[in-house]
């Protein structure tokens, strides 16, 4: 159901990406980017939630602060938060409250989790969700209100820190951004592209026309994905797909053409 174009049997040739139940496993989380001066988190995961939508999805969240601690970091060490977009699975740790459909009572929001950090998102993304209360979007009380006075905007091409640059990748949401991370000294030619939700699954590297159920503008999403994939067929580029459960980092190999028969001009 998340990839309507995959029906009825589009997964048949990609079954290795499904789990033993035939379900599509998804990781949800953050990327930590450390430079000599900066500690940057890209996206804030799902937050502390645990709920099921029967027959559709099971959500289990809550590990981000433990994962940071394992890197020797506490929330006050994070100086920059960048949101690729504001869907609920990318903003969950914005405050101490992560709204879940099964929450019995609303908890009190006590403040931002990363209180010292600049919080950045594109202008178009902020404008798209402002004042909305959609289940898939940023909660008005737990996310939008606490960010309203601190959010800064950062748009296409802007450098967040030396070597860390925003790439506008609209479609999944109107102000969606990806991130390019390179060596600021230029001595290492490799780069990492943090995709955000340009792709939700490795299958979209091959099936780039498969749109995702929650794409705000699915057609634009296909155009953006195609353009980006063409630029990324490069062995020095590592892609980081936050939802690519089990193998978040990888490379895109160029398409290998199939053989075709040509009978023209055989005998000159
Ligand atoms: Zn997502």
The Å distance, Cα 171 to ligand 1 centre, comes to 13
Q: Which residue has the tokens 């929001």?
A: 109
The Å distance, Cα 90 to ligand 1 centre, comes to 6
Mean pLDDT score, 178-188: 94
The Å distance, Cα 182 to ligand 1 centre, comes to 24
The Å distance, Cα 260 to ligand 1 centre, comes to 39
* pLDDT one-digit tens code per residue, 50-85: 999 888 888 999 999 999 999 999 999 999 999 999
Q: Model-level pTM?
A: 0.93
Please, which pLDDT band fits residue 268 given cuts at 50, 70 and 90? low
The Å distance, Cα 89 to ligand 1 centre, comes to 5
* pLDDT one-digit tens code per residue, 82-132: 999 999 999 999 999 998 877 777 789 999 999 999 999 999 999 999 999
Whole-number Å distance between alpha carbons of 29 and 86: 13
* pLDDT one-digit tens code per residue, 196-252: 999 999 999 999 999 999 999 999 999 999 999 998 888 899 999 999 998 899 999
Residue 257: is its pLDDT beyond 90? no
The Å distance, Cα 55 to ligand 1 centre, comes to 19
The Å distance, Cα 200 to ligand 1 centre, comes to 7
Residue 34: is its pLDDT beyond 80? yes
Specify whether the CB–CB gap between 40 and 82 falls below 8 A: yes
pLDDT at 115: 97
* pLDDT one-digit tens code per residue, 122-153: 999 999 999 999 989 999 999 999 999 999 99
Whole-number Å distance between alpha carbons of 41 and 32: 5
Q: Which of 49, 45, 92 is nearest to 67 (CA)?
A: 45
Give the sign of the dihedral formed by CA 157, CA 91, CA 89, CA 139: negative
Could you tell me the domains of the chain? 4-10+24-250 (3.60.15.10)
* pLDDT one-digit tens code per residue, 150-175: 999 999 999 999 999 999 999 999 99
């Amino acid at each position: 159901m998340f990839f309507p174009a995959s029906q009825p049997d589009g997964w048949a040739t990609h079954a290795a990406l499904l789990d033993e139940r035939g379900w599509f496993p998804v990781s949800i989380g953050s990327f930590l980017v450390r430079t000599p001066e900066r500690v940057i988190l890209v996206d804030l995961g799902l937050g502390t939630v645990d709920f099921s939508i029967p027959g559709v999805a099971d959500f289990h969240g809550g590990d981000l602060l433990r994962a940071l601690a394992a890197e020797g970091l506490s929330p006050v060490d994070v100086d920059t938060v960048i949101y690729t977009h504001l869907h609920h699975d990318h903003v969950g740790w914005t405050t101490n409250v992560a709204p879940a459909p099964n929450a019995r009572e609303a908890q009190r929001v006590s403040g931002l989790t990363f209180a010292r950090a600049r919080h950045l998102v594109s202008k178009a993304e902020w404008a798209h969700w402002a004042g909305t209360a959609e289940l898939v979007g940023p909660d008005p009380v737990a996310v939008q209100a606490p960010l309203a006075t601190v959010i800064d905007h950062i748009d296409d091409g802007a450098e967040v820190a030396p070597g860390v640059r925003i790439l506008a990748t609209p479609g999944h949401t109107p102000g969606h951004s990806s991130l390019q991370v390179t060596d600021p000294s230029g001595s290492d030619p490799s780069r990492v592209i943090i995709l955000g939700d340009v792709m939700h699954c490795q299958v979209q590297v091959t099936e780039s026309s498969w749109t995702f159920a929650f794409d705000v503008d699915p057609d634009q999403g296909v155009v953006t994905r195609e353009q980006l994939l063409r630029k990324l067929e490069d062995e020095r580029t590592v892609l980081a797909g936050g939802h690519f459960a089990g193998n978040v980092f990888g490379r895109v190999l160029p398409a290998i053409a199939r053989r075709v028969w040509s009978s023209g001009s055989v005998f000159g």
